[in-house]
Chain A
């Protein structure tokens, strides 16, 4: 039985549809991330699971219990859902000490004093805040507040832990560290987590599965590698980094043993091979996704790969461990991520090639034009 089941859930604010027929099932112990730009409905979805927002259609279950069913007019208020939640602002109550903040869910549930002391101490140790128990909450730094918020959400061992962009108020270095620590803790405790973020790197680093949302709908659900390497649509592909999406036509299609399809494709002045998740007819237009880091750049010619171009470096941005380069070929502007330092300079003639099967084909959606000149 899934820990959280979201069935055909929608949320309307007047005429605006914030969440549009979302279906999602989260297994026990799983870490699922809702990822999308702001206004995509991810936070509303989370708040509907929490019970802070009432869904206008569909049904939500937590464990073996329906908590909201719009058709039946049934709604369990948040305090009866047995959840833990970490808010974007942490929502540390400023009139309490760290201990009081963390003990709150237990005190509300009228647990015996000894048990409260015991559990609060244990959970504060988990987040390494045991020495801060008597601190007044306003005297904490952002990272410490975040730890307290997590401790408070975990203290009564909730069925599900909800996290609403918990890292977005931290600076970059702390964000990575806190994210990694939290993921380790989550794995150790095996606690089911639903996490909301707009940060793709965070989503990929932390999650078992990523749910990409846009305009209130789910675009794709899958493991981070799958979402990144094998996106189902152009929108998902474009959400991560600045990929090269090349227009091409299918010249061959062959089913492989792993249920994927190997395609032969031909672009304007290039040909190559790539993988796809569905079968295409010969001559059908496709978009070929080539991640910038999969493009090899060199001064010498081909290494045998058919997908190869040559052109001049148009711009180059140094980013420390790597270098972002735009290469102008005859008909394309290709983004390349190369390990730094690179001896080539702007204006230099370079050769590019993509290793076989590092490219992925998707069906072009009718609405948008390709990222090609």
Chain B
């Protein structure tokens, strides 16, 4: 055993060894490269700069714009007029409408979602795998499509549902009118139910069955166990998704735009939209002040969500694959099967069917055999604006999804896998858009692009939309990628380093190679998000940079429901195709890891 007794002697000899060996000097150099003390710092700064541009800058411009008396880009003075205009009786009604509608859709949605999640995760209902795919499909359909389809289905004069009712009963009154509070809530529910389901079902599925079994062993009945153990353990997931769904309800734009405005029901997003797009002189200051106020309001929700969740994140989701207890339903399993199918029929088959019918008849509402035609397909085929919007959407979708996921992958890497200085700031910056509705972010970017120094012409170009989409998508992409990284143990990286892999080689061959399925799944999700985005797009597009959702809205406003149906069907095909790819990826790659 050779314990070195004198440290000084050892150190001298080591210094000599360093001096003597050229190899060591080379490693010293490599060492600096590999540590990239400087490179890393520059990288972190660049990342912070980019994120600030995407989130803090529009936010700051929102505040500036709310105090600025004239539209963006014009000389004006700073005052509080915008805020003064907010506080009116009619706006109080708008706020009450917004919150009321959001609650009205969230409560039934969450009951439905819990029921569906329980049926599909914890009972022996037949074909659960297929049913799950069907039940979650509405979440991936752009809301503008179903909004227009339901506008046709539930039209009080010529809607198919009303026509069928009249034909069946012989009555002359129409029972259904989607242009109402009920219509707004009904349409919102079709999104929030699958959205909530996706959040809750994993909590149901990932629960350790021994937690329930031990309750049964302690003498509790099945119902008692469900109430006192299962439901309580699910509570954090349910409550947090409840708050999230409320927030999404307040941000929602399509449903109140299509069903609320015609009936004179205004919510905050449509009020902002109206103030900018539908007044003789756009009231920018008022709209911006309203946007800023609603964002502050959303912040309260976020704080509430934190408080609700604080210290209550029961670790039932351990990342371990459990086989949860499956309840035997006997004959009732066909009833639950029917229930799921019914949900799918109402949320997908009916609207898509309407689009299909609408696209083949000459005039919407007149369904006679001699009215069958392909002329709308021809018209769409020859519609230059459609093709431009289609290629814009595809381009933005591909670029936006790639850029957003890359950004999310980098942000998640820095915040999850490193201890670099500045990572907390990066985390917060990337999360900021979470509480910004698309409409608000759109207004913020309007100001942000207008206030950019002259030689950077972003406003009115396709880049304006790209930045807005990146900002909106970043919180989700960060979430997806950090989940992926969390599943990979540090050993996998360290093992590569010890066996000779450099930092870059390890990143590429191990981390990226292992997390690309998640990247791809997140990519598709972001692509969906871009394809469906309407509220920010409608504010930021200009002639030449239209996207599909904007074109659809314009056609709809012009009363061309037939062409809308054709384009809607095309988008439906895209949705189904990408969803299929995504599911294949999830099944093949992620489940094996």
Contact = CB atoms under 8 A, between A and B. Distances in A.
Interface of A: 2, 5, 7-8, 23-25, 50-52, 58-59, 61, 64-66, 69, 71-72, 74-85, 87-91, 93-95, 104-105, 108-109, 136, 138, 152-153, 156, 162, 209, 221-222
B3 interface: yes
Given A65-B23, A138-B593, A89 B489 contact: yes
6 contacts: A58-B7, A64-B17, A72-B18, A79-B502, A80-B34, A152-B499
Contacts of A78: 494, 497-498
A131 B196 CA distance: 48
B480 to A, nearest CB: 18
A109 B500 contact: yes
Interface stretch (B8-16, B76-84, B214-222): B8-16
A91 B489 contact: yes
Contacts of A77: 30-31, 34-35, 497, 502-503
A85 B499 contact: yes
Interface of B: 1-4, 7, 10-11, 14-15, 17-18, 21, 23-24, 27-28, 30-31, 34-35, 489, 491-492, 494-503, 505, 509-510, 513-514, 592-593
Contacts of A88: 491
A80 B18 CA distance: 15
Contacts of A61: 14, 17
Nearest to A76: B27
A196 B495 CA distance: 16
Contacts of A153: 499
Contacts of A75: 31, 35
Given A50-B498, A84-B499, A109-B500, A65 B7 contact: no
Nearest to B493: A91
B2 A25 contact: yes
A83 B498 contact: yes
Nearest to A61: B14
A153 B498 CA distance: 9
A104 B31 contact: no
B497 to A, nearest CB: 4
Contacts of B2: 2, 5, 25
Given A66-B14, A71-B11, A93-B492, 17 more contacts: A61-B17, A72-B14, A72-B18, A75-B31, A77-B31, A77-B34, A79-B499, A79-B505, A80-B30, A87-B491, A89-B489, A89-B491, A90-B491, A91-B489, A94-B514, A94-B592, A221-B1
B3 A162 contact: no
Contacts of A221: 1, 3
Contacts, number: 132
Contacts of B35: 75, 77
B495 A69 contact: no
Nearest to A86: B495
B92 to A, nearest CB: 53
A97 B14 CA distance: 42
Given A59-B10, A59-B14, A71-B11, A5 B4 contact: yes
Contacts of B498: 50-52, 78-79, 81, 83-85, 162
A93 B18 contact: no
A49 to B, nearest CB: 10
B592 A23 contact: no
A69 B4 CA distance: 15
Nearest to B498: A85
A93 B593 CA distance: 10
Given A76-B31, A222-B1, A93 B514 contact: yes
A236 to B, nearest CB: 15
Contacts of A93: 492, 495-496, 510, 513-514
A101 to B, nearest CB: 10
Contacts of B23: 65
B497 A79 contact: yes
Given A8-B10, A25-B3, A77-B30, A104 B496 contact: yes
A108 B17 contact: no
Contacts of A24: 3
Contacts of B510: 93
B34 A52 contact: no
Given A77-B30, A77-B34, A89-B491, A7 B499 contact: no
A5 B13 CA distance: 13
Nearest to A60: B14
A209 B1 contact: yes
Given A25-B3, A59-B11, A80-B30, A108 B492 contact: no
Contacts of A87: 491, 494-495
A74 B495 contact: no
A85 B495 contact: yes
Nearest to A100: B509
Nearest to A152: B499
A79 to B, nearest CB: 5
Going nearest first, the 7 A-B pairs with the smallest beta carbon separation are A91-B495, A91-B491, A25-B2, A105-B499, A78-B497, A85-B498, A108-B500
B518 to A, nearest CB: 12
A8 to B, nearest CB: 5
Most chain A C-beta atoms within 10 Å of own C-beta, residue among B17, B499, B501, B593: B499
A229 to B, nearest CB: 17
A218 to B, nearest CB: 9
A82 B21 CA distance: 17
Contacts of A8: 4, 7, 10
A95 B17 CA distance: 41
B499 A52 contact: no
Contacts of B514: 93-95
A43 to B, nearest CB: 12
A72 B21 contact: no
Contacts of B593: 94-95, 138
B486 to A, nearest CB: 15
A6 to B, nearest CB: 9
Nearest to A53: B494
A214 B571 CA distance: 66
A138 B11 CA distance: 46
Contacts of A136: 592
Nearest to A155: B499
A75 B499 CA distance: 17
A87 B234 CA distance: 36
Contacts of A74: 18, 28, 31
A222 B494 CA distance: 30
A71 B10 CA distance: 12
A4 B212 CA distance: 53
Contacts of A109: 500
Contacts of A152: 499
Nearest to A78: B497
A7 B501 contact: no
Contact of B501 (A52, A76, A79): A79
B15 A72 contact: yes
Nearest to A90: B491
A156 B2 CA distance: 28
A117 B30 CA distance: 30
Contacts of A72: 14-15, 18
Contacts of B513: 93, 95
A214 B17 CA distance: 32
A299 B4 CA distance: 52
A25 B17 contact: no
A59 B18 CA distance: 12
Nearest to B15: A72
Given A87-B494, A91-B492, A93-B492, A79 B3 contact: no
A155 to B, nearest CB: 9
A85 B499 CA distance: 7
B592 A138 contact: yes
Given A77-B30, A93-B510, A153-B499, A25 B1 contact: yes
Contacts of B24: 65-66
Most chain B C-beta atoms within 10 Å of own C-beta, residue among A64, A87, A94, A95: A95
A149 to B, nearest CB: 8
Contact of A25 (B4, B18, B509): B4
Contacts of A2: 2
